[in-house]
Amino acid sequence: MREYFLSVLKKRTPIMIALTIVFLIATVVVNNVSPYVVIEYSDGIFYDAPKAGLFIVYIAGIIALSVVVSLIEFSFKMIRIQSQQAYSFPIKREKLFLARYLIGLIEIVVPITISYCVSSVMICTSHNLYNLTYLWLYLPCALVTAWLCYSYLSFMFCRANNIIDGIAGMVLAVLAPLAVGFACETFLNRIQITYGIQINFMKFYYCSPFYILDYSTRFIEAKMLDREFVFSWIPFAFFMLWVILSGLTIGLMGFFNKRIKSEDIASDSNSIFTYKMFIGITTVSLTISLSFVISLWAPILGIGLTYLGYFLYQRGTDLGDKILYPLWISLGALVLGVLLVSLQWGGLL
């Protein structure tokens, strides 16, 4: 594995340099356009405090890097010639994918680390910051978020059999947790309004692996503005769930990928971790959320979205033996939507 790892890593060096340059340019540009707040502190000296917009480039950058690196490192399994070449190496498949995973992680960590160090030096030398310590706390948060995002999206990409399905799987993998979070937030908010019970502890963006980055951004901004920051255990609990999930994806990646069949390469994706799961999760969650807005149109819309998703999945309107998948999901969305609307009309929600 060591020889294979070093061989592939050497080939990836130009790509890593290119990604670092692009990321560095983006951060430098944001550094120059992001607003700073000038505040006079108790010592009578005026300080510059960077606003959250200074850090937003890392959220977009981590998503872009995770998608691009997943394509670079794992698209070989979806191209017959490249997969045959990769599997011809005297190395077990699980170790081969582990080596590729670690190389991809390096390709993400290096651009983020270098660009953040350079941009931080630029900020520190051009602005009179109140507390430099908190500025550097953002780097480990960004690296942990990058690991969570890359592990999650690369696993979902690898579960597809062709590149188009892999990209679609990554998009759905980002949207599905947000849809679930939005449905939970809407439902709890409705109960809170109806019964006056303060139980809406949920925000839809808690379900995203990027929320810890936003959370740390607001913490750093508060400290640099010399303001109080209230810690909450709920976002931290969701963050720990993402840590556990990302750890599981590493083990599952090796488990599933060593069972890849040659006839599956470049074929339609049939893994439950692609369209089958995410279309159902997304459409049912949207049905719950919209039931309180558009009433009975919500389950109808849910049925339409379900079949639209599966038509795109099948690249046509003939679902064949897969007709039961969207049928059961549509029935579930219909029953759930009608139930919520009935409770709403009855004054119970």
* pLDDT score for 150: 92
Nearest to 175 by CA among 30, 332, 62, 285: 285
Q: Which residues contact 309 (CB under 8 A, 6 or more apart)?
A: 275, 279, 282, 283, 326
Nearest to 115 by CA among 191, 206, 17: 17
Burial class (CB in 10 A: 0-12, 13-18, 19+), 46: exposed
Nearest to 130 by CA among 55, 34, 36: 36
Please state, in angstroms and rounded to a whole number, the distance separating the CA atoms of residues 112 and 156. 23
Nearest to 72 by CA among 40, 43, 46, 105: 105
Residue linked to tokens 């951060």: 27
**Amino acid letter at 82?**
Q
Give pLDDT tens digits for 62-90. Answer: 888 999 999 999 988 888 888 878 878 88
* pLDDT score for 103: 93
Please state, in angstroms and rounded to a whole number, the distance separating the CA atoms of residues 274 and 213. 26
* pLDDT score for 121: 79
* pLDDT score for 249: 82
Nearest to 178 by CA among 54, 317, 281: 281
Spell out, as residue ranges, where the chain has pLDDT lower than 70. 31-56, 126-133, 194-202, 204, 224-226, 257-258, 260, 262-264, 266-267, 292-299, 302, 307, 312-349
* pLDDT score for 28: 76
Q: How far is CA 336 from the centre of its chain?
A: 27
* pLDDT score for 55: 62
- Name beta bridge partners: 37: 49
Give pLDDT tens digits for 149-191. Answer: 899 899 888 888 888 888 888 888 888 888 888 877 777 777 7
